[in-house]
Amino acid sequence: IIAEAETADVRYTLCNCLPACNTVEYDAEILKTNFNIKHYLMSKKDKKLDSFWKNYSFSRLEMYFKSPRFVSMRRSELFGLTDFIANCGGLLGLFLGFSFLSLVEIIYFLTL
């Protein structure tokens, strides 16, 4: 699992995937050490536990936030539909002397 987590960044950069619209990134650190079960059981001072768990292997997982802050990113469109229509109308008015109001008037007079 540790080797997989360490190489995860490499795999995700090679997938040619589009970035997500909403992301929250956390900085991760992996620390590992031996877990001394005998010392833990001796601190509980229960002889039954010591004999029962003697032949088992144990792991302990603790997760902490490295810092209380995180970086949140949100992707949004640069131009929406309203911006596109406004830009097209502005360009048509500038270069052709034509506006959407003129188009509405032409359609109105053609329907009479």
E strand or H helix at 74: strand 71-74
The arithmetic mean of pLDDT across residues 73-101, rounded, is 82
Q: How many domains does the chain have?
A: 2
pLDDT for 108 beyond 90: yes
> What pLDDT shows up at residue 78?
81
pLDDT for 105 beyond 80: yes
Structure tokens at 107: 């359609």
One domain for residues 24 and 65: yes
One domain for residues 59 and 4: yes
Confidence class for position 11, pLDDT limits 50, 70, 90: low
One domain for residues 10 and 58: yes
pTM for the full predicted model = 0.30
One domain for residues 57 and 105: no
CB atoms within 10 A of CB 11: 9
By residue range, what is the domain housing residue 90? 78-112
What φ, ψ does residue 24 adopt, rounded to 5°?
-130, 120
pLDDT for 12 beyond 60: no
> What pLDDT shows up at residue 109?
92
